[in-house]
Structure 1
């Protein structure tokens, strides 16, 4: 980020030199942050830089890590942000130790902090490894013992009411025993339900992720509830023992609450506070936040969902109103069977009438349930609560679709989950930046951090998507900017603390410039020949990142007969098991799609070649992405660069980050898409990736791979 020029007449004499920008060296950034941290904070005394460094050193020692200059710079910047109230974007490369860099100043400040992450692995690392060691190491210096807790959405915890009373039946028969009804205890589902009941007597947390081995989603759904289905702690006979309520109580008492992006989105967007009050929010893996918030804010209307609501309401409401809802669902189903997939800028008249009929019928059924209850007809609370939750969700979704807001995107989507020949109607926000701007940054400091926040050399693209407009940037050290920024605009600054890895010496970025540009078909003979030769030169050790599952499958089938060693394919086993097998076999390869671009951590010689089959642009027929691109173009911007290129660059940066995971790792990132070398936007993508040594020489890269393979150290034990 290039800060705005300073006004010498407006600048505070004590302000650091604005030349020490967020892209300066780690030493300069540290100096700026240290001076900012020394300024008086709004609520408490500032934390001296020397004191912060002592605490950081103790924490790093406790977890067996190595202190890095970038880690120190980040810690002091976080401390400065807490004191000044500004928002901070920090790009911290792999190996920086960013978790400790944000946790130490947060604990030292003393106010409650919420840490939101995207992955279960990082949540567990924080709660089970980093925080326990840090608290023990820092307790003597802080003269207190900080408390920490993990908090997730209610459906992640076992519901004791369902464990003991059973789940309400979608067949309208009240409560039932899933182990007996759904295939019997000898079925896989029945066995899972029985295991869950036994586990309920043993677990202290009721957290699904603490159960090993786990159970299917269908089995878990029988033993858990959403927030709308929950009876409430005061009405539920098991409220005093409730796992979800216990987790919330622990969070209220904790200094550090570790949660996930989904719960953060629910807390920010749905108007019903889930997280405890906090003065500092840290969003780790922040590159994922927009996608997670979009997912939470997306709604879907399906015939199956309406039919389930009908069954749940059958014995609770007036028969006439339930029949009307059933009829509306059948009409909607018939129309969706022949509907063409794609974006719907305005609902076709016939579908609009069908959606309105479902909305009105839902409202009548909800009213009827209340009237029947008022007349003294008894019903099981759990059955009634589940029925109302389904009906209210459908009513709100249809109402939103009929409203036709210019801020929403509506589309018809073919979906095999609901059976052949059926489609669903979906609605999502055109952008979540406004939602985030209004709900995320008020009355607290927010630190957003990831290894990939700078795209094309600056933070602007990511900042805009996160609701931080460029007009609200806070140039480093310029206190006057706080007075000049428009009222209500979140003030922010960005900094890149680099990585401890020497990317130009440890890795090569190879672009297969000689290949023809990829078309829509996954079968690319020249690309497959190139891939086979690269794998042979590398001796296996390859992570193949493909833009679609079909492309990954095609490559796996073609290469299993052409290269030595095992080719593992995503979908043929659990992802965790595939990664373990890949890490244990030097000559093995792992092929897969989007979840592998961001979720694989295999340091050492098991992964010395990362291959991307093509630039992962969103599909041209993706309704949401194309709508966002069109909106940018209509406002005078470059929709392709702002949406499609930014989306793809983020994935490529994450994918390239799979290669170098430790200081002694070496290898090649190979992009088998010539456009990265020949298209005008190629430089944007390359500048978004780690600073590897760049080449298009196919012979050179094969020699390098063979040399790396020949000198590869033994595989690391995992």
Structure 2
């Protein structure tokens, strides 16, 4: 029986911080404007209610201080629930202000709203009826360790009589998965164009608007779902669909139909994890019944994206020694109770929670280093990762990302459930995803990761890293030779970089062969790289190689051989057990042995073999298919990594062999497969970037233009009276254009330093105008959260680099102006130089640049009623690149003053038309 809870109080001082000053609301309702210094001093004597403590501390230039962060309370009361991490966003999620794109509230109003949000959340908590006893147990733990909200939350929660303290083991409440029989091979019944059109019509509904371009697009994909004629000859369709065609439903129609007819999976792959969930939302049309959808559709990601229950349990066990982790544990445990699938990257974990609690205490609880103990884990039967893997084996539609597809395909015979049909959305990113997947890096970070995977946590430091001995020692206890090999591996692994390697090599005091090699590589880079790159990453060619590098490379190769040999033998002995002990191994142990043997062999054969080959090439020359170089990676003057790097000149060659040829049909689709030039080289470039040119059968080419009236809906201007390297002039242009548009602007930059310089100069003017200015690499929020806020606040402005350009999808007035600081030429590094030579010189470089411009412009207009202005602040823009913009769009080369006038007039006319009274 629950006892009545005492009244809830949320009367706290409230703090709202702007760029110039702050607002403090006293408990009696008095409001006062304060300087940042005054606000900081008051915040350290009181414990204020606020929103997003890290962002406020950054604005105040302060260390963290005790506070009632409304986001912590929201995450506790509504776990796995989305809200924007702003006072307006929280209020919208709670229904206290109208939903949808909004104008920012004044600071005084934000203070009132925060107080109302706190009261509403505590009232909601008092009505909680699901798992109340477990929730109270978590709250008691958090309160005992000093959580600011602890007393208020406990007052709001009922107390239960006659029940023991519930404890924190939320993993015990999760459902268990079960094994099932292997799925039969899929059939090869084709999907026709007519069937595809009919399926699309049903998905859209009988009363939907007629969209002939979408139907044409969908039906053109049918060849990829026909039976292939010969082995290693997949049907490939390259489909460029302009913005507004309805690409996602267009490919879902034939994909879902083929999966249904053939009882086999279609893998839909996209570039980002966020887009995976957008596709999942569209699949509601195909599977309207949520239970059926849960059976037929699975989102697959790498293991490093899911919450590891063993890590969460170990965090709980450490709270006695680490009380500051109690709040993070409690909020992550609340999320684990409510999450759909344990996905922490793009799933239902709020993107702002890692900002609030710290990366290590949130996304760091994933299996990020491949240290899973599989069936030896007490939580194996409830594991989110294992459940996802098993669901995918029975699903009709698997929504994956490009990186996972590359990894799965590269495993080859190890992966028994590879699909025969793929759809690669965001196909213009396929080249870069493949490039990353098939590269080899013999660097300090990569080698340290291998050492940690083998040895685990070292030096008495608190660490959840589980080494190889902990993971497999019980599997070789009865094998004397296996134990000897394990000891040999542990000893040899100490030749890899250990904690503190950065400082040791900088001081010239390496501690082992790998650190000695990295030290000589660093010296060669510093000696040969340009001197005008102070603070930025540096690189140089490997040849002619410094004799000191050759000497340390030979020593490192010997050390790697000493590690590789016992790893190979141990992997072989484990694999042999699957045969010799077949009659006594239970299924879970068998799967565990198989996984461990694969993991050890993969690192010995793929990773270490690649490193040794790279070291060997230093004595001779790099094989013609590859590009090698030395690099010292730095950020803000701080050294992050150093090493020897190898990439394929053309990474689509391995893609064609390990991904495309085993498949029967592939769709590669994007709004920007070609560069818009209309030349013969345009499709040739697309075939090179997608790997189609390495396949024996020619690809089907499809182009469906956008239905939007770009000449009427957009204006494109190149400002020709600015010095592009004068940051005062560039900042003035951004400020004036943003103010002319009255917000709703996205500023794109080719360098982080330029972004920060502009932000510093324009932020005060934006705040004076009441326009919220967001900035990647400046604000204490991740990129996805910044984009969410930008999308949710109609008049906000956002500054960002490539990650923002690729991730933003903002229909409506929230994005009405896009300003690019200069022509986005490819970075002229060693790898680009080699690829420029390999793929066709200047035309290749132009294609890449046109594609970046085309992709950026494509983000501006997302709906038929959108209006937008695109401005490039670089008078050096060559006319040959203007085909990146849609046909019929006039590109004006004008001065800044005229560009400001055009922007204001064009966008204001659109607002006037929207608000004009109907006659």
CA distance in 1, matches of 2:804, 2:314: 40
CA distance in 2, matches of 1:439, 1:420: 35
Structure 2 equivalent of residue 427 of structure 1: 646
Q: Cα distance, 1:323 vs. partner?
A: 5.6
Structure 2 equivalent of residue 513 of structure 1: 720
Equivalent residues of 2:236, 2:666 under 8 A apart: yes
Structure 2 equivalent of residue 647 of structure 1: 848
Q: Cα distance, 1:146 vs. partner?
A: 8.2
Structure 1 equivalent of residue 763 of structure 2: 560
CA distance in 2, matches of 1:82, 1:317: 52
Match of 2:487 among 317, 320, 327: 317
Judged with a 3 Å threshold, the aligned counterparts in structure 2 of structure 1 residues 689 and 659 are, in CA distance, closer, same or farther, namely same
Q: Does 1:104 align with 2:253?
A: yes
Judged with a 3 Å threshold, the aligned counterparts in structure 2 of structure 1 residues 280 and 603 are, in CA distance, closer, same or farther, namely same
Equivalent residues of 1:309, 1:387 under 8 A apart: no
Q: Cα distance, 1:541 vs. partner?
A: 2.7
Q: Does 1:56 align with 2:205?
A: no
Q: Does 1:121 align with 2:274?
A: yes
Equivalent residues of 2:243, 2:858 under 8 A apart: yes
Q: What is the 5 A alignment of 1:26-41?
A: none
Query: What CA deviation, in whole Å up to 9, does each residue of 1:245-290 have, x standing for no partner?
Result: 2212111111111100110111233435558332321000001111
Structure 2 equivalent of residue 332 of structure 1: 517
Equivalent residues of 2:440, 2:611 under 8 A apart: no
CA distance in 2, matches of 1:279, 1:81: 10
Q: Does 1:547 align with 2:750?
A: yes
CA distance in 2, matches of 1:78, 1:331: 54
Structure 1 equivalent of residue 306 of structure 2: 157
Q: CA RMSD in A?
A: 4.0
Judged with a 3 Å threshold, the aligned counterparts in structure 2 of structure 1 residues 198 and 397 are, in CA distance, closer, same or farther, namely farther
Equivalent residues of 2:340, 2:348 under 8 A apart: no
Q: Any gaps of 5 or more consecutive residues in structure 1?
A: 1-41, 167-175, 473-487
Query: What CA deviation, in whole Å up to 9, does each residue of 1:417-456 have, x standing for no partner?
Result: 7954962332222211211222332241111111111212
Q: What is the 5 A alignment of 1:425-504?
A: 425-442=644-661, 443-455=663-675, 456-457=677-678, 458-469=682-693, 489-504=696-711
Structure 2 equivalent of residue 225 of structure 1: 367
Q: Does 1:602 align with 2:810?
A: yes
Q: Does 1:73 align with 2:216?
A: yes
CA distance in 1, matches of 2:801, 2:411: 32
Equivalent residues of 1:185, 1:194 under 8 A apart: no
CA distance in 1, matches of 2:569, 2:313: 29
Query: What CA deviation, in whole Å up to 9, does each residue of 1:542-568 have, x standing for no partner?
Result: 211111111111122222355633432
Match of 1:136 among 288, 292, 308: 288
Judged with a 3 Å threshold, the aligned counterparts in structure 2 of structure 1 residues 526 and 245 are, in CA distance, closer, same or farther, namely same
Partner-residue secondary structure (3-state), 1:440: helix
Query: What CA deviation, in whole Å up to 9, does each residue of 1:113-166 have, x standing for no partner?
Result: 110011233211222x221322239999xxx99822111112222334444468
Judged with a 3 Å threshold, the aligned counterparts in structure 2 of structure 1 residues 145 and 627 are, in CA distance, closer, same or farther, namely closer
TM (norm. structure 2) is: 0.61
Partner-residue secondary structure (3-state), 1:616: coil
Q: Cα distance, 1:186 vs. partner?
A: 0.5
Q: What is the 5 A alignment of 1:296-695?
A: 296-303=437-444, 305-306=446-447, 309=450, 312-313=454-455, 317-318=487-488, 321=492, 327-340=512-525, 341-346=538-543, 347-365=545-563, 367=565, 395-402=608-615, 403=617, 404-416=622-634, 420=639, 423-442=642-661, 443-455=663-675, 456-457=677-678, 458-469=682-693, 489-516=696-723, 518=724, 521=725, 523-561=726-764, 564=769, 565-571=771-777, 572=779, 573-620=781-828, 622-632=829-839, 637=840, 639-642=841-844, 644-676=845-877, 679=878, 682-687=879-884, 691-695=888-892
CA distance in 2, matches of 1:301, 1:411: 11
Judged with a 3 Å threshold, the aligned counterparts in structure 2 of structure 1 residues 709 and 467 are, in CA distance, closer, same or farther, namely closer
Q: Which moved more, 1:554-563 or 1:222-231?
A: 222-231
Equivalent residues of 2:542, 2:630 under 8 A apart: no
Equivalent residues of 1:96, 1:499 under 8 A apart: yes
Partner-residue secondary structure (3-state), 1:192: helix
Judged with a 3 Å threshold, the aligned counterparts in structure 2 of structure 1 residues 277 and 575 are, in CA distance, closer, same or farther, namely closer
Structure 1 equivalent of residue 3 of structure 2: none
Structure 2 equivalent of residue 268 of structure 1: 409
CA distance in 2, matches of 1:121, 1:222: 19
Structure showing greater radius of gyration is 2
CA distance in 1, matches of 2:211, 2:270: 22
Match of 1:192 among 299, 305, 328: 328
CA distance in 2, matches of 1:514, 1:320: 64
Number of residues paired by the alignment?
620
Q: Does 1:696 align with 2:889?
A: no
CA distance in 1, matches of 2:909, 2:420: 50
CA distance in 1, matches of 2:604, 2:330: 30
CA distance in 2, matches of 1:594, 1:366: 39
Q: Cα distance, 1:292 vs. partner?
A: 1.1
Equivalent residues of 1:113, 1:257 under 8 A apart: yes
Query: What CA deviation, in whole Å up to 9, does each residue of 1:233-252 have, x standing for no partner?
Result: 5x655443332222121111
CA distance in 2, matches of 1:240, 1:338: 50
Query: What CA deviation, in whole Å up to 9, does each residue of 1:79-99 have, x standing for no partner?
Result: 233226531111112221111
Q: Cα distance, 1:688 vs. partner?
A: 5.3
Equivalent residues of 1:345, 1:410 under 8 A apart: yes
Equivalent residues of 2:517, 2:552 under 8 A apart: yes
Match of 1:288 among 411, 429, 440: 429
Q: Any gaps of 5 or more consecutive residues in structure 2?
A: 1-186, 229-234, 459-468, 470-485, 497-510, 526-537, 574-591, 915-919
Judged with a 3 Å threshold, the aligned counterparts in structure 2 of structure 1 residues 544 and 200 are, in CA distance, closer, same or farther, namely closer
Query: What CA deviation, in whole Å up to 9, does each residue of 1:336-375 have, x standing for no partner?
Result: 4423142424454432442343343233245557999999
Equivalent residues of 1:328, 1:358 under 8 A apart: yes
Q: Cα distance, 1:601 vs. partner?
A: 1.8
CA distance in 2, matches of 1:66, 1:132: 19
Equivalent residues of 1:107, 1:146 under 8 A apart: no
Equivalent residues of 1:512, 1:674 under 8 A apart: yes
Query: What CA deviation, in whole Å up to 9, does each residue of 1:383-416 have, x standing for no partner?
Result: 9999998777762342241244322222222224
CA distance in 1, matches of 2:210, 2:361: 45
Judged with a 3 Å threshold, the aligned counterparts in structure 2 of structure 1 residues 164 and 588 are, in CA distance, closer, same or farther, namely closer
Partner-residue secondary structure (3-state), 1:132: coil
TM (norm. structure 1) is: 0.76
Partner-residue secondary structure (3-state), 1:134: coil
CA distance in 2, matches of 1:242, 1:542: 43
Equivalent residues of 1:603, 1:660 under 8 A apart: yes
Query: What CA deviation, in whole Å up to 9, does each residue of 1:575-602 have, x standing for no partner?
Result: 2443344345555421111112221122
Q: Does 1:90 align with 2:291?
A: no
Equivalent residues of 1:657, 1:690 under 8 A apart: no
CA distance in 1, matches of 2:215, 2:426: 19
